[in-house]
Structure 1
Amino acid sequence: MIAMILAAGFGTRLRPLTDRIAKPALPLPGTTLLECNLALAARAGATEVVVNAHHLPHTVARVAREAADRLSLRLHLCFESGAILGTGGALVAARPLLDRGAPFLLLNGDVLTDLDPRRALDAHLATGADTTMVLRPMPKGADFAPVEVDARGNIARIAGLGREAQVAEELRSFAFTGIHVLTPAIFETLPADGASCVNRAGHVGLIRAGRRVSAHVEEGGRWSDVGTPERYLEANLDLLEGRYRLPSVSGFQMSAGIVVAEGASIEDGASLVAPSYVGPGVTVRAGAKVGPRAVLHEGCVVEGEVVEAVVPPGGLVSRGRTVRSAIA
């Protein structure tokens, strides 16, 4: 089976982090967002994966190559030049790789989740649907565009688009997880050229054509759209404390203790408090205080204090400075 990971977006809400690193390539303790999604695809049975790239494509390509090699996945990279193609246009560009007359997975590369796509794949095969979207109960206060599902488990509308409202029809609203099970039918409603949205053009087009777009609802597990600094901080700290049940990635498993990666330097007189993660090439100077709940990513230098916080790659926390409940 083949899967595709969408990794071309700009990540504007995460600037300035995403001015240097594409959002799917952002690091997490011992891994990256992109590697977590590649691992989910592999757990679902994928042996090949397509990753598209547009913004800072070299950072996406590097992470994808390293992770695919660790996971024994055959990797296909699709570089988008010029205007970004969107989720639908990216699929069309990769159609020669994906259109094999069989279902394939599509995952958003900027989502962190421990949901198992195998369950969605099994449900899709059981229903015989043209496409399946993996949904979750709508979080309280969330502003996600609703996906409305009828009593038969079919999707009627996405963000208000799709089937016309039926008298006395009861629809339930859910949030979309960014995980799809698709068949080549999706290409029938996507524009052949240019940018498009797989949800609003692809799935909605199938709904309007009377085709079956099925809902697979996951009640449990953890899921986060890592699209803001607050959610990126939360994702790092949640992984630090083992709150996600993820497939093993990078040969690394987080625990509640202190993890110091190879190549890190901890000077005498530095203080580390669990749980903390010290990445490769990190330097913690004498007198520095790290933790609890601190994540220090590759190549950063800490001279001051880091508590419930993340220091991104190459960051510096100078002497006398304290970073608390924030990204440095």
Structure 2
Amino acid sequence: MNISGMKAMVLAAGLGTRMRPITDTIPKPLVKVAGRTLLDRALDALEEAGVGSAVVNVHHLGDQVVAHCAARAHPRIVVSDERERLLDSAGGIVKALPLLGSAPILLLNADTFWIDSDRSSLASLAGGWDASRMDMLLMLVPVGDTTGHGSKTDFVIDADGRLARAKGDPTGLVYAGAAIIDPAIFAGVTPEPHSLNLYFDRAIEKGRLYGQVMDGHWITVGTPGAIGEAEAAIRMRQPAPA
């Protein structure tokens, strides 16, 4: 699939409670790591992959996120406003569907990012999409290629790329907060608060949840203490020019 024609959604409406006290005054997507906001790191990845349009949802301290998005030229951003009611991951997508259309959606979390080893991981993900077999294609990463995550795994993958829940299996992989989703899975669903995990499980039951392992290092920033760890990981993999 050609990524340049895709629309993306960045989930940026969370409360960021584990990041307090920083998030008492700054929404988590605008927390800076090595001088760049988490939201901009997600949008940078989209821009570098050639995505021209993105929807960003907002809730906690949403005015700040709206203003930040307005100051950015690329990708073109449309805001999905959840300031009155937080809808969780799946509910937020459902509310934004009129802005996203019926083609497969590229989904990113605003509180994780990665450093690609070579080619854009998002472009590679798009290249792996097969609508005939898949309802969702998740970007995955080995635990050893993460910073800030710990040892928990999310999914195990078979030889064909089909996923099942890891259920504590230490050989499993971590969901890297990026996915391609067929919006048809939300047919008839209303924008009520609910989690994307429900759709992961439904797709597993149908044999239509697939994964692709990224080539790079993935970073999650969940607490104030994780900022320093993330910055150290960036320095290690992106040394300053001489």
Residue aligning to 2:23: 18
Q: CA–CA distance in 2 between the matches of 1:56 and 1:38?
A: 19
Q: 1:45 to 1:238 in 2, by over 3 A?
A: same
TM-superposed CA distance for 1:10, in Å, is 1.1
The count of aligned residue pairs is 230
Letter paired with 1:174: L
Taking the TM superposition and a 5 Å limit, the aligned residue runs for 1:229-268 are: 229-239=224-234, 241=235, 243-244=237-238, 255=240
Taking the TM superposition and a 5 Å limit, the aligned residue runs for 1:90-105 are: 90-100=92-102, 102-105=103-106
TM-superposed CA distance for 1:146, in Å, is 1.8
| Uncovered stretches (5+) of structure 1, i.e. residues with no partner | 161-169, 245-253, 258-328
TM-superposed CA distance for 1:201, in Å, is 1.3
TM-superposed CA distance for 1:233, in Å, is 1.7
Structure with greater Cα Rg: 1
Q: CA–CA distance in 2 between the matches of 1:172 and 1:123?
A: 22
Is residue 224 of structure 2 the alignment partner of residue 216 of structure 1?
no
Residue aligning to 2:114: 113
Q: CA–CA distance in 2 between the matches of 1:222 and 1:51?
A: 24
Residue aligning to 2:198: 201
Cα deviation digits, residues 146-184 of structure 1 (max 9, x gap): 212233210123668xxxxxxxxx995211100001122
Percent identity over the alignment is 32
Q: 1:86 to 1:173 in 2, by over 3 A?
A: same
Residue aligning to 2:157: 149
2:166/2:172 contact within 8 Å kept: no
- TM-score normalised to the size of structure 2? 0.84
Letter paired with 2:237: R
For the residue of structure 2 that corresponds to 1:114, the secondary structure is strand
Q: CA–CA distance in 1 between the matches of 2:10 and 2:237?
A: 23
Query: Superposition RMSD on alpha carbons, in Å?
Result: 2.7
Q: CA–CA distance in 1 between the matches of 2:211 and 2:128?
A: 9
1:33/1:111 contact within 8 Å kept: yes
Q: CA–CA distance in 2 between the matches of 1:242 and 1:157?
A: 32
Residue aligning to 2:83: 81
For the residue of structure 2 that corresponds to 1:105, the secondary structure is strand
Residue aligning to 1:324: none
| Uncovered stretches (5+) of structure 2, i.e. residues with no partner | 1-5
Q: 1:197 to 1:143 in 2, by over 3 A?
A: farther
Q: CA–CA distance in 1 between the matches of 2:108 and 2:10?
A: 5
Letter paired with 1:227: G
Letter paired with 1:92: V
2:220/2:230 contact within 8 Å kept: no
Q: 1:42 to 1:197 in 2, by over 3 A?
A: same
Residue aligning to 2:136: 131
Flag the structure with higher helix content: 2
Letter paired with 1:51: V
Moved over 4 A (4+): none
Q: CA–CA distance in 1 between the matches of 2:15 and 2:71?
A: 22
1:124/1:214 contact within 8 Å kept: no
2:107/2:178 contact within 8 Å kept: yes
Is residue 162 of structure 2 the alignment partner of residue 177 of structure 1?
no
- TM-score normalised to the size of structure 1? 0.63
